[in-house]
Amino acid sequence: MRFKFPIIIIDEDFRSENTSGLGIRSLVQPIEDEGMEVLGVTSYGDLTSFVQQQSRASCFILSIDDEEFSDDRAEDTLAQLRAFVGELRHRNQYIPIFLYGETRTSSHIPNDILRELHGFIHMFEDTPEFIARYVVREAKAYIRALPPPFFRALVDYAADGSYSWHCPGHSGGVAFLKSPVGHMFHQFFGENMLRADVCSSVEELGQLLDHTGPVAESEANAARIFHADHLFFVTNGTSTSNKIVWNSTVVPGDVVIVDRNCHKSVLHSIIMTGAIPVFLMPTRNNYGIIGPIPRSEFDWENIQKKIAANPFITDKNAKPRLLTITQSTYDGVMYNVEEIKQELDGKIDGLLFDEAWLPHASFHDFYGDFHAMGQDRQRCKESLVFSTQSTHKLLAGISQASQILVQDAENYSLDKELFNEAYLMHTSTSPQYSIIASCDVAAAMMEPPGGTALVQESIAEAMEFRRAMRNVDEAWGEDWWFKVWGPDELAEEGMGPYEDWTLRANERWHGFGNLADGFNMLDPIKATILTPGLDVDGQFAEVGIPACILTKYLSEHGIVVEKTGLYSFFIMFTIGITKGRWNTLVTELQQFKDCYDTNMQLWRCMPEFLENNRRYEGMGLRDLCHQIHQMYAQYNIARLTTDMYMSDLTPAMRPGDAWSKMAHREVDRVPIEELEGRITAMLVTPYPPGIPLLIPGERFNKTCVEYLRFASHFNERFPGFETYIHGLVKEVKDGKTHYSIDCVRE
């Protein structure tokens, strides 16, 4: 299968009719005769931007002709050459680089540049055909070495042209061509994706389920890159990765220590395994941003007190089987993993760090000890360390691409055969091979120095965005603007030291109170934008801009954000974010401000929204913001949600037992007004933030009921901005809307 990676020639005379131009162009045709494309340019342009072309190239040929090395230009030419080669090697260690000169030789080039080269071309000492073969050989060798093991095998199989007699039934896409709509599908996704959609009977691709062949080679390669002892690709998301780890470790009755700010997949794991959870409580500020679990919660003495207080744990000396911590939170708050390992090593059998939002951290020194595994990191003596990562969230995996990383302890190693039994319980026997390939490629992309450069660029773009937002704020002066949640001081350029991003005790910007020194850090690539109307103390201003309206506006203008809160929304600077994207966001925020300040009619600034929600006919943007803002203030919703999540929720049943009641339909559908004191059989999860409020077996308290009552009133009054709460059942009877939740029958 032929991939398009042109050979790039950089020569200011490339299009000239002088000797240098004619000489370098005489090389183009022989290269093209060898089946390679050539791209000729006359200058480096912006070095950083141009070097990014390395991902599309197979080779660079750089000119050093006589004019460029004349007495008045030699110094500038060398400086530019050194800068270009340095930027190139910063991102790509292996791409071939050739220098081309008429009379100049290696004696004119400093050694720091020479050692990065693959060769030196003198056009008039050999025929163009010979030189072309020499260059093309190196370029093709580079391209052949690019794909990691599984992706290479999949490409070879798709290009082989074998007839498919196995599932899936579309037989390499042929079935789609027999139907008009199927033909449309085939054109949209393309031949390669469909030819590569194969089943596990293709022996040359290996097996995901028993980790053999190219799959095993790729998992081992990824383990090396991510500094893990073992690594397993998972094709149905980190939700499944978490469940695999839990099923491999936890059985009914086991004590587990769990971050209350955990993903619902962890709570599903508690239910499925029959474990008894002991929760560590995170902090929370009045913006609705969930903060870190205080360092004191991890003290073994405090964990023992929680175990002793749990009514369902009969053996108060039972050793917990697993700790699960969200690393990092949605908004980017991370923990110092080494402190947690030192505190709990040997006291808990396994330490699981849910790093769905942090797979990039091990590739840059900026993140220090604030991630689970890294080069030369100290092992636990007794406890296995697990990390589950969504390569599709921050890296280049496609949706559902995930992986499980394992670090052995000094005195205990993972039994891969036993672990794989849990893996088989949750993995399809018909995995999507394009997801496996994306896991493979996403790992290969992070191989240093390229991976380090990608993370560096993500941080740099995030910092530039933060500075740009502050510059706009300063330009507006006393007028309102949006703020990006983060430390009060930013480095004037670059990213600054990681210490600038550590959360210090009682700093007002974060609002999490008396945090331990050096235990938590904010990831700068996670940007939470705050809208006017609410401060960190939970005080409402006279006017405000609810984020739900702003993000509806942004969506209608081509910008879709990750998460929307009351007065905040969240974006991520992944390795795919560019200057164009975040500059467009800043521009659209400016446009929103203009629309708000002039109270522009919704039919003009949000026509699609108004088309679907005629209730707001004739209303201006500022009027709509004011109405929702008033209702938020009336219910004091910031403090209500904070109190709700921080309230004491006493377990009345084991989660697994409450789920059993639901499975056997021993439940009542209880209206909101009658919920207080009842035991939920369901996960109750408000969005945002998508963090479960109650889990099966817990009782509704007064604060939780007040919030549900607010949500039902809000949804009725402001259609189009409904608060979604998983577990809340909406039913229309006799023309009226009723809300209820399934509770254990009394």
Question: What is the pLDDT of the chain when averaged over all its residues?
Answer: 91
Residues 7 and 39: beta-carbon distance below 8 Å:
yes
Residues 275 and 252: beta-carbon distance below 8 Å:
yes
Each residue's pLDDT tens digit, 255-291: 999 999 899 999 999 999 999 999 999 999 999 899 9
Instruction: Please list the residues that pair with 40 across neighbouring strands.
Output: 9
Biggest CA pair distance of the chain: 94
Each residue's pLDDT tens digit, 461-495: 999 999 999 999 999 999 999 999 999 998 888 77
Residues 196 and 434: beta-carbon distance below 8 Å:
yes
Residue 396 has pLDDT above 60, yes or no: yes
Each residue's pLDDT tens digit, 101-111: 765 565 667 88
Q: Which helix (H) or strand (E) holds 371?
A: none
Burial level of 472, CB count in 10 A (0-12/13-18/19+)? middle
The single residue listed with the structure tokens 């002088």 is 18
Q: What is the rounded distance in angstroms from the CA atom of residue 633 to the CA atom of residue 646?
A: 20
Residues 557 and 588: beta-carbon distance below 8 Å:
yes
Residue 99 has pLDDT above 80, yes or no: yes
Tell me the pLDDT band of 165, cut-offs 50, 70 and 90.
Answer: low
AA letter at 258: V
The pair of structure tokens assigned to 17 is 């009719």
**Residues carrying CATH 3.90.1150.10, the chain:** 456-634
Residue 179 has pLDDT above 60, yes or no: yes
Tell me the pLDDT band of 68, cut-offs 50, 70 and 90.
Answer: low
Residues 352 and 320: beta-carbon distance below 8 Å:
no
Length of the chain: 746
Each residue's pLDDT tens digit, 535-547: 999 999 999 999 9
Residue 200 has pLDDT above 90, yes or no: no
Q: What is the dihedral of CA 466, 471, 474, 476, to 10 degrees?
A: -100
Tell me the pLDDT band of 66, cut-offs 50, 70 and 90.
Answer: low
Q: What is the rounded distance in angstroms from the CA atom of residue 564 to the CA atom of residue 687?
A: 9
Fold classification of 456-634 is Aspartate Aminotransferase, domain 1 (3.90.1150)
Residue 718 has pLDDT above 90, yes or no: yes
Helices of type H across 647-734? 655-663, 702-717
Q: What is the rounded distance in angstroms from the CA atom of residue 146 to the CA atom of residue 151?
A: 10
Helix (H, G, I), strand (E, B) or coil at 514: coil
Contacts by residues 550-553 (CB-CB < 8 Å, ≥ 24 positions apart): 550/592, 552/606, 552/609, 552/720, 552/721, 553/592, 553/595, 553/605, 553/606, 553/609, 553/621
Each residue's pLDDT tens digit, 552-583: 999 999 998 888 999 999 999 998 888 888 99
Residue 532 has pLDDT above 80, yes or no: yes
**Residues carrying CATH 3.40.50.2300, the chain:** 7-145
Q: What is the rounded distance in angstroms from the CA atom of residue 415 to the CA atom of residue 735?
A: 59
Pairing of strands 402-407, 230-234: antiparallel
pLDDT of residue 164: 62
The single residue listed with the structure tokens 């099923």 is 247
Residue 143 has pLDDT above 90, yes or no: yes
Residue 623 has pLDDT above 60, yes or no: yes
pLDDT of residue 22: 76
pLDDT of residue 163: 60
Whole-prediction pTM: 0.92
**Residues carrying CATH 3.90.100.10, the chain:** 648-744
Which candidate, 64, 115, 112, 116, places its Cα nearest to that of 91?
Answer: 116
Instruction: Please list the residues that pair with 732 across neighbouring strands.
Output: 737
Beta strands in 183-274 (DSSP E): 230-234, 255-259
CATH superfamily of 7-145: Response regulator (3.40.50.2300)
Residue 222 has pLDDT above 70, yes or no: yes
**Residues carrying CATH 3.40.640.10, the chain:** 206-447
| Domain 648-744: top CATH class | alpha beta
Which candidate, 587, 546, 590, 600, places its Cα nearest to that of 568?
Answer: 546
pLDDT of residue 707: 94
Q: What is the rounded distance in angstroms from the CA atom of residue 446 to the CA atom of residue 391?
A: 11
Q: What is the rounded distance in angstroms from the CA atom of residue 616 to the CA atom of residue 608?
A: 12
Instruction: Please list the residues that pair with 323 across neighbouring strands.
Output: 257, 351
Q: What is the rounded distance in angstroms from the CA atom of residue 153 to the CA atom of residue 203?
A: 11
Contacts by residues 21-29 (CB-CB < 8 Å, ≥ 24 positions apart): 23/102, 23/123, 23/124, 24/61, 24/63, 24/100, 24/123, 26/123, 26/128, 27/61, 27/121, 27/123, 27/128, 27/131, 27/132, 27/135, 29/128
Q: What secondary structure letter does DSSP report for 251?
A: -
Each residue's pLDDT tens digit, 328-360: 998 999 999 999 999 999 999 999 999 999 999
Instruction: Domain 206-447: give its CATH code.
Output: 3.40.640.10
Cα first-last separation, the chain: 65
